[in-house]
Amino acid sequence: MRFLMIEDSADLAQSVAERLRLDGHAVDHAGSLADAEDCLSAAPYDLILLDLSLPDGDGRDFLIRQRRARRDVPIIVMTARAGVADRVDVLDLGADDYVTKPFDFAELEARCRAVLRRRGGATQTVQRFAGFTFDPLTAQLVVADETRELRNRELRLLEILLAAPGRIFSKSQLCDRLFSYAESVSDNAIEVYVARLRKKLDGSGARIETVRGMGYRLSTT
């Protein structure tokens, strides 16, 4: 998944980004609301982590603009304001969740997972499709009673494809979802991860189909 973190503390942003990247997420950092708008105009995001106190404005105004524009990307507010009224305020403005600073990284990761599951319409973490079982929390894929471990980018790629079976994703779309601006990506990076995931799916009723000149889609054999 690709996340946008809007946070003016470079140290905190770096720490959070490093932790989320260990889970295979791509993370872009915006230190101001203006930078955030530039990022949003250039790439799609699966989730936004939003600080409220920013050098060029209040994060709540950003939140209001997103919801008025009917942009439904999930937003988790990161705030030092611990009062009940403050938390109720951001939720009423359209935030999907919040964490209070200082927060534990494990809690932030859990809240990200929960918000993404809710937005995907899923209440259970385990997913089943065409003869395989997939649990993103344990990074395990089970095919014919055989457990196969997924590496971070393989896991995220499967999440993307499994969220929309039959939909064609171009290489550029997959790059946008899997890698941040700070990462150097070669032309064949997506091909490498697709090839690895195909091997992991071998023996199930699912396959990653190459649609010539268009991209890839998850289908059944």
**What is the mean predicted confidence (pLDDT) over 149-167?**
90
Interval 36-81: pLDDT, tens? 999 999 888 999 999 999 999 999 999 999 999 988 899 999 988 7
Domain 2-119 has CATH 3.10.105.10: no
DSSP-assigned letters across all residues of 135-151: ETTTTEEEETTEEEE--
Most confident of 27-36, 112-121, 158-167: 27-36
Residue percentage of the chain with pLDDT more than 70: 96
Place of tokens 């946070």: 7
Place of tokens 């942003």: 13
- Equal fold, 2-119 vs 127-220: no
Cis, bond preceding 102 (omega within 30 deg of 0): yes
Interval 12-36: pLDDT, tens? 999 999 989 888 889 999 999 999 9
CATH of domain 127-220: 1.10.10.10
Residue 123: band (very low, low, confident or very high) from pLDDT cuts 50, 70, 90: very low
Q: Domain-by-domain residue ranges, the chain?
A: 2-119, 127-220
